[in-house]
């Protein structure tokens, strides 16, 4: 099952030669840079002394751009921790190597397009949250791994991985098509993994948090929303908390994802754009999504945290109506107006929600495997939590639910870490829920500003990078030559003219105010003129807000919005 953990990449003018280090293998993976053929060969001195040699920790994949194919390799890694004795790594750095030695075969326009595509790939690879393990399947929860057959356990790592969470599946496809290359096919997930060593009452245990972000309908905050016709929701994430102690292993899974209705919320320079319900068969998308959820996780408790008034009300109402129309005995809907109930920083009122969920928390249970490998219990259902963005409100509530389960895991009679359900026990483990403070409020304000800038001026590029890397947009080598590229979209004239007018008017207004004039009436006239020009141009800027937003150019959403 394991893939080669440490390798050397030898680069010659004609080949990429990948040499496994350690173990008893003497094979070489050879990629012909001219014919692009990939083969396994015995090591018979094919590596010339003139080759450029680099240490690498895995092949992320191969991506094709206008200039041809590029090999992506992992050059640096950082240890995150261990799960069941297997080391988990974070991708710390990567390198991209072109099959072509030059780009002289490209036209000037093609060369420009290729540079843009290459920058998108580099943008994607700069994320700090790619994780992998050469010996362990981190795409599955512990419970799913336990409930598999011996045949499944013997599959190659990339074959047995949950494809929902393998972010390099598209770029890895040229290697996975050849079964003999399975030990070079390293699946990578995007999300978050942290392993913390904790201690209570002198007893040590490891607390691990794994969030797996789904590749289907993945995207940035306002560019991808809701459900598609296949039941996939935007930004679906599976989060697993694992507790390991004295040979015992416990796991609890929660999920989050966009509201599974057909809706959009396009960035338009406003702080919060208005969400829009699309005229479609919401029940169809909802049912497809939850059929998949029930198949994967069992009984569903929907925890909907959106506002029940204001611009979020329409979504909350339609969500509740759709749940009622579905009449699914395996789904329960729990609406909780987070902002109303917890206004004025009254987060203690979240106990109201926990009281409503207490029965489900106990009924769902969690996966528990004892030191002898015997499964004591399994989780039979999942909380599917959402707010508008599945960020702050969702984080808080998932953290609280996780904490309740963690207390039960630590006080389990079999574990014996803590002797009672007293929530005041002392621990050096990180607080799994966090606390609301004045500093936290300031940080929330800063985060809101950062999000505003990203949502309006950076997310188009980020969305394009995601779609390119996941294969939602496949680059043709003829782009810019015999076919038009989506990157060649021209900006509307207003994109340049109105901001320039606004800057000039604002600058002149400031100068007029700061520089005194003997003719007061004349100065007031100038102030009025430039002030009016600034206000009008600013109003025009927001009126045509979508023109000035960084729009994605490669996004091919399955839900078309008129």
**What pLDDT is recorded for position 424?**
46
First and final C-alpha spacing in the chain: 48
**Quick one: three-class SS letters along 482-498?**
CECCHHHCCCCHHHHHH
Please identify, among 399, 415, 431, the residue that sits at the C-terminal boundary of a domain: 415
Q: What is the pTM of this model?
A: 0.92
Please identify, among 415, 436, 460, the residue that sits at the C-terminal boundary of a domain: 415
Asked if 502 and 387 sit in the same domain, the reply is no
For residue 522, give its domain range. Answer: 492-561
The answer to whether residue 85 sits within a structural domain is: no
Asked if 303 and 388 sit in the same domain, the reply is yes
**What pLDDT is recorded for position 138?**
97
The answer to whether residue 539 sits within a structural domain is: yes
Asked if 408 and 510 sit in the same domain, the reply is no
Asked if 401 and 500 sit in the same domain, the reply is no
Instruction: Give how far Cα 145 sits from Cα of 148, 150, 382, 463, Å.
Output: 6, 11, 17, 32
The answer to whether residue 467 sits within a structural domain is: no
Please identify, among 415, 444, 477, the residue that sits at the C-terminal boundary of a domain: 415
The answer to whether residue 249 sits within a structural domain is: no
The answer to whether residue 364 sits within a structural domain is: yes
The answer to whether residue 40 sits within a structural domain is: no
Asked if 396 and 275 sit in the same domain, the reply is yes
Instruction: Give how far Cα 272 sits from Cα of 3, 26, 217, 393, 448, Å.
Output: 45, 58, 21, 16, 10
Count of the separate structural domains present in the chain: 2
The answer to whether residue 507 sits within a structural domain is: yes
**What pLDDT is recorded for position 419?**
56
**What pLDDT is recorded for position 186?**
98
Angle of helix 520-543 versus helix 493-514 axis, rounded to 10 = 150
Of 234-243, 414-423, 455-464, 465-474, the least confident? 414-423
C-beta of residue 274 within 8 angstroms of C-beta of residue 546: no
Q: Over the stretch 127-153, which tens digit does the pLDDT of each residue have?
A: 999 999 999 999 999 999 999 999 998
The answer to whether residue 446 sits within a structural domain is: no
Asked if 411 and 496 sit in the same domain, the reply is no
Distance separating alpha carbons of residues 67 and 110, to the nearest angstrom: 8
Asked if 407 and 275 sit in the same domain, the reply is yes
Of 187-196, 220-229, 331-340, 433-442, the least confident? 433-442
């Amino acid at each position: 099952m394991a893939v080669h953990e440490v390798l050397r990449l030898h680069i010659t003018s004609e080949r990429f030669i990948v040499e496994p280090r350690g173990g008893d293998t003497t094979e070489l993976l050879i990629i012909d840079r001219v014919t692009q053929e990939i083969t396994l060969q015995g090591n018979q001195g094919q590596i010339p002394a003139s080759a450029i040699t680099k240490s690498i920790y895995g092949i992320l994949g191969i991506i094709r751009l206008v200039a041809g194919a590029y090999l992506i390799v992992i050059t640096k890694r950082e240890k995150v921790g261990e799960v069941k004795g297997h080391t988990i790594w974070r991708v710390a750095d990567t390198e991209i190597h072109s099959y072509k030695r030059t780009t002289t075969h490209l036209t000037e326009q093609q060369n420009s397009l290729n540079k843009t595509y290459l920058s998108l790939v580099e943008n994607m690879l700069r994320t700090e949250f790619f994780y992998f393990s050469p010996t362990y399947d981190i795409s599955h929860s512990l419970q799913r791994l336990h409930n598999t057959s011996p045949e499944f356990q013997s599959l190659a790592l990339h074959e047995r991985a949950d494809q929902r969470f393998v972010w390099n599946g598209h770029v890895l496809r040229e290697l996975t098509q050849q079964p003999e290359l399975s030990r070079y096919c390293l699946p990578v997930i995007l999300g978050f993994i942290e392993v913390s060593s904790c201690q209570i009452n002198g007893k040590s245990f490891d607390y691990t948090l794994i969030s797996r972000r789904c590749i289907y309908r993945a995207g940035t905050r306002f560019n991808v929303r809701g459900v598609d016709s296949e039941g996939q929701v935007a930004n679906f994430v599976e989060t697993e908390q694992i507790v390991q102690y004295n040979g015992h292993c416990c796991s609890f899974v929660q999920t989050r994802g966009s509201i599974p209705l057909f809706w959009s919320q396009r960035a338009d320079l406003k702080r919060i754009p208005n969400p829009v319900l699309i005229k479609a068969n919401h029940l169809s998308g909802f049912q497809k999504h939850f059929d998949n959820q029930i198949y994967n996780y069992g009984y569903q408790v929907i925890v909907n945290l959106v506002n029940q008034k204001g611009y979020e009300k329409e979504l909350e109402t339609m969500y509740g109506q759709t749940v009622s129309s579905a009449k699914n005995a395996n789904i329960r809907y729990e609406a909780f107006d987070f902002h109303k109930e917890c206004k004025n920083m009254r987060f203690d009122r979240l106990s109201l929600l926990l009281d409503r969920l207490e029965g489900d928390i106990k009924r769902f249970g969690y996966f528990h495997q004892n030191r002898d490998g015997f499964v004591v219990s399994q989780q039979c259902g999942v909380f599917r939590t959402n707010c508008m963005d599945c960020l702050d409100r969702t984080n808080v509530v998932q953290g609280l639910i996780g904490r309740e389960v963690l207390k039960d895991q630590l006080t389990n009679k079999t574990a014996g870490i803590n002797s009672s359900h007293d929530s005041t026990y002392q621990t050096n483990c990180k607080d799994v829920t966090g606390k609301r403070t004045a500093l936290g409020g300031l940080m929330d304000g800063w985060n809101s500003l950062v999000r505003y800038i990203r949502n309006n001026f950076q997310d188009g590029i980020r969305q394009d990078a995601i779609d390119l890397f996941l294969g939602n947009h496949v680059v043709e080598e003829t782009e810019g030559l015999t076919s038009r590229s989506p990157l060649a979209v021209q900006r509307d004239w207003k994109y340049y003219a109105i901001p320039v007018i606004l800057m000039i008017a604002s600058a002149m207004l400031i100068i007029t105010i700061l520089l005194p004039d003997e003719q007061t009436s004349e100065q007031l006239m100038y102030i009025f003129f430039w002030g009016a020009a600034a206000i009008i141009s600013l109003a025009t800027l927001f009126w045509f807000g979508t023109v000035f937003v960084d729009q994605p150019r490669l996004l091919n959403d399955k839900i078309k919005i008129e």
